[in-house]
Structure 1
Amino acid sequence: MKTIMPFGILLLMLFASCTQQPAITLKNPLAETRTDEVIVFSREEIANKIALEEGKLPVFKNGDKTIASQVDDLDGDGNWDEVVLLTDMQADETIKATIELAVQSDYPNINKRTNLRLGIIQEDGSYKEVDNYKAVPVSEPFKIIAQGEGVTWENDKIAFRVYFDCRNVKDLFGKRKPVMVADDVHTPGFGNYHELAEWGMDVLHCGSSLGSGGIALLRNDSLIRLGSTDVYEYQKIVEGPIRSVFDLKYSGWNVNGEEMEAVERITIYPGKYWFESDVTVYGCSEDDQIVTGIVTSQLKNEPFRFEAADFTCIGTHDVQSLNNDELGMAVIVPKSETGTIGRTSDINWFQKGFVTVKEKGFSNIISETYFIAQECKDATPAKHYFFSVWGLDKDQWKTEDGFRKYITEEAEKLSSPVQKM
């Protein structure tokens, strides 16, 4: 028997299908709240949901509420490649967000919660921010050319920097307030960042260690620092309120007589006490391992090591800051890629005559470092996350247990990302 659908119902169905608004669905697979959760969509994923129009950008709404978002052009061709959403999610929550298109002038403004800065000193003593720059070649005399001595990246919780010279050591600033400080460091009126201020201070002594996440290569039981390269270049990729991304590019890296290249891509997000690092080495051998580590010069307690979700963690927690209070640092790498874990000697190689930068008492030979390695696949990124917390910022950070609890929670979230539908 042939069924004939009433004409009115057919019209309603056609009308609904024509007026249904494009949408995405986000699901939290964990039975825990996620605060400041970042979800990244590719341009292709959004194009599969809504027909894109030149000159317009996607805007996402959960009911009447606009979800904070940022569109990023990662390859510099003038077209956005990814859109980044920032939202809170309750345990097991599912969010359906509708998509609209808006001209750039109508794109929602949100508070800036991440920041990048490489300022190069000018003849008048001021600093000019640059998006791309090469450090002084290692063949030339040592010279500090950068504001705060290096590249700084930060969010509303913490700030990191890497010396923009042959040392290539990572350092960090603790924060007492959710403010951006990188643009003002070393400028008149800012004060000495080695002294405690209302905003915070430089809290770490690095020496000739890897500091707070410096990079090295482990080959035949020897650590070779990623530093003193022929070319050391900074390239800003994205600087935005939700995500900031930059590359550090190296060539002429002498590893036991071989010339190698490397790129480290660093990403920072709001609300997190960590940054994300993807290290790509070109020319590594089968048994080579990429290494990152933590300075131990002020460490009195034993470092810790544990596994959380899909990650292996190493870390330290002690009264070890330059303010003589609690400072915690940690690295997590995927369990499937975890390699050698170890601790260097505490020998002062500079005093033994292995001098790299006389003005800074620095030796390129790595010491006073607790490190973790992961497998090095030629021309393939290896990802890790570097954490740091300061006891003056929050009571939870005054204890190792409080720090480890946070690392475990973040490892679980990274292992079970928000599902996109």
Structure 2
Amino acid sequence: MKKIAVLSIALLCLFSCKEKQSKTNTESIASEEKTDSKTYAELSIAQGGEWKDGPRGHKEYSAGTSFKNINSLQVPKEHTDHSWFLRYEGPGWENSQIGYRLYLDWRNAIDIYGKKVDSLVLPYVGQDGFDSYHEPADWGQDILKAGKSMGIGGYGRIVADTVVHFQSVKSTFAKVENLKESSSVNIEYKGWASGEDSTDLTTKLTIYPEDRFTKAELTPSKEVTGICTGIVIAKDIPLVKKDGAKWAYIATYGKQTLASPPDNLGMALFYKLDEVAEQKQGIDDHLVIFKPSSKTLTYYFLGAWEQEINGIKTEENFIADLNKKLESLEKTNSIN
């Protein structure tokens, strides 16, 4: 896999600054660097600390900046947003073009890592223990402000016109899987309370070697109304929508990134028309609301940042790319 010189320099600097990290963490990073995989998913926890009362009234994990990559995790009940237990706050997945992460807490939103390089970078993101990945770096940066939304392709349930995230869940179990031709994040939510219902939900988020999209598969334990996904609403950015015979997409394109100054980012979500009850604008999201079902619901989402290598730099080219993907879905029921 092609390595960008500036990234190599940055990584050498990173290793020299991290000589005091635990042996476990160093070995984990080294083993990941040696792989020739074209996709990657990871989950990383802080080491050597303890849960203490934090200034915002909830527990925080007090630790150094030593992290350990793990394959699976039963999320501690103490964990919530900004508790400093999970490196960059949840699992991440990537290929050569783009990276994503999911906030593995009540927010449950999906964020985008824009990449300026074509190598795998997640093993090095957030290793300082802070959120410096919001700032520009040689590899790229976090480019999406999710706010109170589901981000891009996140999931929740619409109840009384409000998206219920995962504020009340009995347990959450997450697992990452790296195969030859794909990488995925698998999550099991038990006892997700929303409205007057309690539901179990199993989800799988898969990325492939080529292209920018993630395939999302949601399997509820029972039929409930209002399970939804969406795209964060950005100010003054219009929604584009196109229906096919079996599939449709919604998309946004424009200067809607955290870069300074903001630059062009396209976001899109593809869904099956026969699985969806309604597409409408919510408070924070352009919503896609699914019909009640206990079967697996499948959709695709993607981001396209103009700063990526050979990136899409105009709205016209972005829509042309989406239309090509829609055509593929109509013919084969799959993008990949």
Question: Could you say which TM-score interval applies, normalised by the shorter chain?
Answer: 0.7 to 0.9
Residues 85-139 of structure 1, C-alpha deviation per residue, up to 9 Å, x if partnerless?
A: xxxxxxxxxxxxxxxxxxxxxxxx9931100110010015311111110223279
Q: Distance in 2 between matches of 1:188 and 1:400?
A: 36
Residue in 2 that maps onto 1:320: 256
1:341 offset after TM fit, Å?
A: 1.1
Coordinate RMSD, CA, aligned? 2.7
Query: Does the alignment pair 1:249 with 2:191?
Result: no
1:80-99 residue pairs with structure 2 within 5 A? none
Report the 3-state secondary structure (helix = DSSP H, G, I; strand = E; otherwise coil) of the residue aligned with 1:206: coil
Please tell me the residue identity of whatever aligns with 1:172: I
Gapped regions of structure 1 (runs ≥ 5): 1-108, 346-367
1:140 offset after TM fit, Å?
A: 8.0
Residue in 2 that maps onto 1:233: 173
Q: Distance in 1 between matches of 2:191 and 2:92?
A: 24
Residue in 1 that maps onto 2:214: 275
Query: Does the alignment pair 1:137 with 2:62?
Result: no
How many residue pairs align between the two structures?
A: 284
Picking from 255, 259, 275, the partner of 1:337 is 275
Query: Does the alignment pair 1:266 with 2:205?
Result: yes
Where in structure 1 do 4 or more consecutive aligned residues deviate above 4 Å?
138-142, 188-191, 219-222
Q: Distance in 2 between matches of 1:268 and 1:127?
A: 24
Q: Distance in 1 between matches of 2:333 and 2:272?
A: 18
Residues 184-215 of structure 1, C-alpha deviation per residue, up to 9 Å, x if partnerless?
A: 11125999211222211100111111111110
Name which one, 1 or 2, has greater alpha-carbon Rg. 1
The structure richer in strand per residue is: 1
Residue in 1 that maps onto 2:228: 291
Please tell me the residue identity of whatever aligns with 1:168: N
Q: Distance in 1 between matches of 2:313 and 2:122?
A: 25
Gapped regions of structure 2 (runs ≥ 5): 1-33, 49-63
Would you say the 8 A contact 1:215–1:226 is kept in 2? Answer: no
1:395 offset after TM fit, Å?
A: 6.7
Query: Does the alignment pair 1:376 with 2:292?
Result: yes
Residue in 1 that maps onto 2:316: 401
Q: Percent identity?
A: 26
Q: Distance in 2 between matches of 1:272 and 1:190?
A: 29
Residue in 1 that maps onto 2:94: 154
Q: Distance in 2 between matches of 1:376 and 1:268?
A: 26
Residue in 2 that maps onto 1:307: 243
1:339 offset after TM fit, Å?
A: 2.1
1:343-382 residue pairs with structure 2 within 5 A? 343-345=281-283, 368-378=284-294, 380-382=295-297
The structure richer in helix per residue is: 2
Compared CA separation, residues 245 and 261, structure 1 to 2 (3 A) = same
Please tell me the residue identity of whatever aligns with 2:69: E
Compared CA separation, residues 198 and 191, structure 1 to 2 (3 A) = farther
Report the 3-state secondary structure (helix = DSSP H, G, I; strand = E; otherwise coil) of the residue aligned with 2:321: helix
Please tell me the residue identity of whatever aligns with 2:198: E
Report the 3-state secondary structure (helix = DSSP H, G, I; strand = E; otherwise coil) of the residue aligned with 2:88: helix
Please tell me the residue identity of whatever aligns with 1:402: N
Picking from 34, 39, 42, the partner of 1:117 is 42
Picking from 113, 116, 125, the partner of 1:185 is 125
Would you say the 8 A contact 1:169–1:210 is kept in 2? Answer: yes
Q: Distance in 1 between matches of 2:130 and 2:118?
A: 16
Report the 3-state secondary structure (helix = DSSP H, G, I; strand = E; otherwise coil) of the residue aligned with 1:402: helix
Report the 3-state secondary structure (helix = DSSP H, G, I; strand = E; otherwise coil) of the residue aligned with 2:274: helix
Residue in 2 that maps onto 1:52: none
Residue in 1 that maps onto 2:8: none
Residue in 1 that maps onto 2:325: 410
Residues 2-43 of structure 1, C-alpha deviation per residue, up to 9 Å, x if partnerless?
A: xxxxxxxxxxxxxxxxxxxxxxxxxxxxxxxxxxxxxxxxxx
Would you say the 8 A contact 1:396–1:402 is kept in 2? Answer: no
Report the 3-state secondary structure (helix = DSSP H, G, I; strand = E; otherwise coil) of the residue aligned with 1:148: helix
Would you say the 8 A contact 1:138–1:228 is kept in 2? Answer: no
Instruction: Using structure 1 for the length normalisation, give the TM-score.
Output: 0.62
Compared CA separation, residues 164 and 335, structure 1 to 2 (3 A) = same
Compared CA separation, residues 417 and 190, structure 1 to 2 (3 A) = farther
Would you say the 8 A contact 1:301–1:318 is kept in 2? Answer: yes
Compared CA separation, residues 208 and 221, structure 1 to 2 (3 A) = closer
Q: Distance in 1 between matches of 2:125 and 2:81?
A: 25
Compared CA separation, residues 229 and 138, structure 1 to 2 (3 A) = farther
Q: Distance in 2 between matches of 1:261 and 1:276?
A: 20
Q: Distance in 2 between matches of 1:304 and 1:141?
A: 32
Compared CA separation, residues 400 and 309, structure 1 to 2 (3 A) = farther
Residues 140-168 of structure 1, C-alpha deviation per residue, up to 9 Å, x if partnerless?
A: 89723111111101111100000122221
Residue in 2 that maps onto 1:126: 66
Instruction: Using structure 2 for the length normalisation, give the TM-score.
Output: 0.77
Compared CA separation, residues 271 and 139, structure 1 to 2 (3 A) = closer
Please tell me the residue identity of whatever aligns with 2:101: R
